[in-house]
């Protein structure tokens, strides 16, 4: 659904959380449920990151769940034109959709430009890890190219991942490879924002438990215990503290505290 966002308890909560972080080394995890999507949080954070790119930072978007056209439409509703951001080299967009997905072993294709492509090979004993390392290297190669064409460009990056479960699938189902990749991302002047789905993981140690340990802060979008209604669709908990409700409308998401909706 294409939507714009109003209000902004979410921005206020994030501002309070981020004031205590190292701005160049942080990992913000967004969690959601199948019945309660948290994609609107990722959209808001993408807009915020691109606003910071005016100061020379680079935003890298790794899109496993949706294509560029989808995000361009959604972000335009927020007043952010991804096409222009990409043309100005403030945004590096990797379209990682895999329409020939044979289970957990993928032959993913990264569309860098119309003329050149980077391939992530199917996983055997080592190619899942190699694919993650190659992707990380490609991110930094393109970022370096952007910086070389603009001497005022900052070395800082924000990396967004729209679906960690699909990254795990692309890595042959290996949570170790995913965790290594996330460590690569936050190891050098980069902040990381990623979304994952809580209710796809079985009980016991999983990628999710490792993500909780690694993340500096967590935003959780979850259904109401009493079920959704026309007025309230779910609740957000930011950094295990501030909790407020949200309502997703056709062209807006509204945030409010319990008991304040009239």
Distance separating alpha carbons of residues 234 and 242, to the nearest angstrom: 14
3-state secondary structure of 62: strand
Q: What percent of the chain has pLDDT over 70?
A: 71
What does the domain layout of the chain look like in residue ranges? 9-256
pLDDT digits (tens, 9 = 90+) for 221-260: 988 876 656 677 788 888 767 888 888 776 677 888 877 7
CATH superfamily of 9-256: P-loop containing nucleotide triphosphate hydrolases (3.40.50.300)
Lowest mean pLDDT among 10-14, 72-76, 120-124, 200-204: 120-124
Per-residue pLDDT at 114 exceeds 90: no
Lowest mean pLDDT among 9-23, 38-52, 81-95, 154-168: 9-23
Per-residue pLDDT at 124 exceeds 50: no
DSSP lists the bridge partners of residue 26 as: 191
DSSP string, 187-254: SSSEEEEEEEEGGGSPSSS-HHHHHHHH-SEEEEEE--TT---SS--EEEEETTTEEEEEEE-SS-EE
Per-residue pLDDT at 112 exceeds 70: no
* Mean of pLDDT over the chain: 76
């Amino acid at each position: 659904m294409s939507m714009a966002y109003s209000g902004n308890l979410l921005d206020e909560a994030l501002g309070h959380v981020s004031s205590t972080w190292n701005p160049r080394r942080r990992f913000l995890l967004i969690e959601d449920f199948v019945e309660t999507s948290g994609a609107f949080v990722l959209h808001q954070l993408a807009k915020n990151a691109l606003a910071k790119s005016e100061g020379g930072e680079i935003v890298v978007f790794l899109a496993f769940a949706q294509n560029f056209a989808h995000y361009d439409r959604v972000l335009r509703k927020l007043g952010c034109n991804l096409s222009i951001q990409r043309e100005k080299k403030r945004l590096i967009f990797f379209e990682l959709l895999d329409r020939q997905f044979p289970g957990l072993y993928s032959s993913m294709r990264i569309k860098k430009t119309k003329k050149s492509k980077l391939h992530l090979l199917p996983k055997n004993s080592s190619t899942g890890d190699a694919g993650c390392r190659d992707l990380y290297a490609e991110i930094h190669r393109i970022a370096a190219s952007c910086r070389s064409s603009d001497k005022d460009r900052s070395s800082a990056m924000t990396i967004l991942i729209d679906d960690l479960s699909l990254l795990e699938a692309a890595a042959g189902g290996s949570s170790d490879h995913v965790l290594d990749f996330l460590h690569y991302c936050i190891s050098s002047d980069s902040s990381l924002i990623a979304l994952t789905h809580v209710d796809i993981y079985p009980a016991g140690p999983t990628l999710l438990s490792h993500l909780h340990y690694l993340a500096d802060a967590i935003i959780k979008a979850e259904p109401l215990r009493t079920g959704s209604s026309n007025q309230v669709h779910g609740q957000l908990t930011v950094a295990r503290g501030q909790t407020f409700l949200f309502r997703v409308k056709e062209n807006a998401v509204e945030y409010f505290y319990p008991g304040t909706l009239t």
